[in-house]
Structure 1
Amino acid sequence: MIHSLVTSLTKACWIMLGSFVSALPACAQVPPAADLASGRPADIWRFLEEAAASMGAAPDQSLDYTGIKGQSHRIEIFRPADAVPGERYPGLVLFHGGAWREGSPVQFYRQARVIADAGFVVALPEYSISDEDASTPHDALVDAFRAWSFVHLSAPALNIDPARIYAGGASAGGQLAAALATVPPPEPTTRLTSPARLVLFNPVIDNGPDGYGYSRVKDYWQDFSPLHNIGADHPPTVILLGDSDRLIPVATAEAYCVQVRLAGSDCSVKIYDNAGHAWFNHDQAGYEGTLRDALDFLRSIDGR
């Protein structure tokens, strides 16, 4: 297991006061940003790298799957620090955000380390983004399904219980996670099963004519937009959203949950005061609050 001394010390911080979450304010402080624009670091991805490094949050393993353009994409794996060989753990696949244009799994390194050490195997996939390979949102969708299928097929080797694999993501990554449970698989073999649960951070769940990103997906939005493809098998879901998000209105999240409930499943929206889009990346209270609520949701399902 690839855990350095600093990771071991971080683990000691998590268990202080008797639980991971209660120790967050003392042990997972986000380093100050050098250049803030409207509260957001000018280079958010570097900021997230430094924040993860400050708490010793690094993957334990890296695997590769093949993307839609034939390229190799990483899936970074975080395991429980005290994992027992041969035991099967619930899995969580988290997709980073970035408007299908940019981004990196580093967005969720901090959350992945905490959730993993609470008893989960967390997988953070890369996928096609237009800033790197001139890809489309549909390409990102195909890659997300491929990554999801890869994790399922690799579940025994990853010590994951295939019946307990959950999905989540932020912004465009939230759209990808929700799509796994809603839209038609873009390839015949790219969905073995739907996520057992969804945990969505300000997700882009409406891509219709009045939703986010429509101009980029208008030729295929009916098979892309999660809100427009909710069916009877939709998994229980929690949506974590700021009340001042100008990209994802609270009304959109609430409408999504209404449809999920009408389809016979559970869905809740947790609203955070004075919070804009993706605030949890750089705001300490937002990071702690959304992580705490996400972990509470996962633990309530799994009894951990």
Structure 2
Amino acid sequence: MMVQAGWGAAGLLVLAMSHMPVAAQSPTIPVDDSYTVSSRFLANQAAHPDYRLPVLTTVAGQQILFDRLYKTVGGRELHSDVFLPPAETGSGQAIVLVHGGGWHSGNKSNFYSMANLLAQRGYVVVLPEFRLAPEAGYPAGVIDVNDAIRWTMSQAAEFGIDPQRVAIGGESSGGQMAALVAYTGGSTLFSGGSDRAPSVNALIDIDGVIDFTTPLALANENRNDATPAARWLGGSWEQAPDRWREASAATHVGPNSPATLVISGERDRFTAGMEKVLPILAAHGIPHHHAHFADQPHTFWLFQPYTSQVVAEIDTFLQDLQPAQTAAP
């Protein structure tokens, strides 16, 4: 079933539902439900009593398109949820956001609150599901994200966006994946059978590892071959060093890398490699910015008042990248 939400003339949220054919034999998909907004809220509530669970409040003219099919692989459907701004406020910029969860868990709904607020600032926000490690290891999910970007660009006319202005972002493991996709855009890596992977105009990495091979990342991600990273990559650093290097976004940064915003909390381990990448971007004159939220633990962006603050950082950064307006003669 497909659900499309929008505001009617009476100011009421209207849901239009249409039934889609269901495959006779759908594949069984293993699910790890350990990473949720509620579980992270409970883990941080005592130390951060100011945290508030997200509440979505839409505005007139805004639309939310649920479960739009963007890809089918081996009988498996992959969908995106799309948050559209009111038509008169659209900026033409799209953002594809990749949820976190240690490459094993999480859901596109984790980003609903942030996507809703970004849409109200004029952005089209696409939240794809992708294959997680219990279903398919590296690099399946990375290829899926590239296909979600490609699909977003193909929907430019419907969504009211410029296909040259599609950004990729993510949180935690999703930030790592977003950085890897951003810095390998335009190459044959993770292209999913196409000649080249799509290129994006910006990266938004929220607490995502940028270089697995740094001592800091290895100390946390390579404690044994059962860490989330090792399970996703199919082995420890000692067992699969080439794969760990390839999966490190810092390996691929260069003169054609997109503008980059890194958002971090209290622990540097989650953005390991940033200290290597930002100077390279600076040397090539590529816009970049680091927004640090001191004393905030990992996943702080899931909760208010910080969701709104992160959205403001993203908006400010992307506003600076907008094409210059030419005055009418």
Letter in 2 for 1:289: Q
Offset at residue 156 of structure 1 (A) = 2.4
Partners in 2 of 1:105 and 1:188 — Cα distance? 25
Q: How does 1:33-52 map to 2 (within 5 A)?
A: 36-39=42-45, 51-52=54-55
Q: How does 1:55-70 map to 2 (within 5 A)?
A: 55-56=57-58, 59-66=64-71, 68-70=73-75
- Pick the aligned partner of 1:279 from 296, 300, 308: 300
Distance 1:274 1:69, change over 3 A: farther
Offset at residue 234 of structure 1 (A) = 0.6
Please, which runs of 5 or more residues in structure 2 have no aligned partner? 14-36, 222-227
Distance 1:150 1:32, change over 3 A: closer
Offset at residue 116 of structure 1 (A) = 1.3
Deviations 1:254-303 (A, max 9, x none): 32212222343122211111012111113x23222212111111222227
Q: Confirm or deny that 1:241 pairs with 2:264.
A: yes
Partners in 2 of 1:34 and 1:233 — Cα distance? 36
SS of structure 2 residue aligned to 1:215: helix
Q: How does 1:113-192 map to 2 (within 5 A)?
A: 113-131=116-134, 133=135, 135-183=136-184, 184=187, 185-186=189-190, 187-189=192-194, 191-192=196-197
For the aligned residue pairs, the C-alpha RMSD in angstroms reads: 3.4
In structure 2, the residue matched to 1:208 is 213
Offset at residue 237 of structure 1 (A) = 0.9
Partners in 1 of 2:214 and 2:93 — Cα distance? 37
Letter in 2 for 1:299: Q
Partners in 2 of 1:35 and 1:287 — Cα distance? 13
Distance 1:158 1:72, change over 3 A: same
- Pick the aligned partner of 1:103 from 106, 130, 151: 106
8 A contact 2:167–2:202 mirrored in 1: yes
Partners in 2 of 1:114 and 1:300 — Cα distance? 19
Letter in 2 for 1:144: V
Offset at residue 67 of structure 1 (A) = 5.3
In structure 2, the residue matched to 1:301 is 321
- Pick the aligned partner of 1:197 from 190, 197, 202: 202
- Pick the aligned partner of 1:227 from 217, 241, 250: 250
8 A contact 1:169–1:175 mirrored in 2: yes
* Residues 135-144 or 232-241, more deviating: 135-144
Please, which runs of 5 or more residues in structure 1 have no aligned partner? 11-30, 42-46
SS of structure 2 residue aligned to 1:102: coil
Name which one, 1 or 2, has greater alpha-carbon Rg.
2
Partners in 1 of 2:171 and 2:41 — Cα distance? 23
Task: Determine what percentage of the aligned residue pairs are the same residue.
Answer: 22
Partners in 2 of 1:40 and 1:69 — Cα distance? 44
8 A contact 2:146–2:198 mirrored in 1: no
Distance 1:253 1:157, change over 3 A: same
Partners in 1 of 2:146 and 2:121 — Cα distance? 26
Distance 1:113 1:270, change over 3 A: same
Distance 1:172 1:259, change over 3 A: same
Q: Provide the TM-score with structure 1 as the length reference.
A: 0.76
Partners in 1 of 2:129 and 2:254 — Cα distance? 27
SS of structure 1 residue aligned to 2:305: helix
8 A contact 1:145–1:191 mirrored in 2: no
Q: Provide the TM-score with structure 2 as the length reference.
A: 0.71
Distance 1:101 1:9, change over 3 A: same
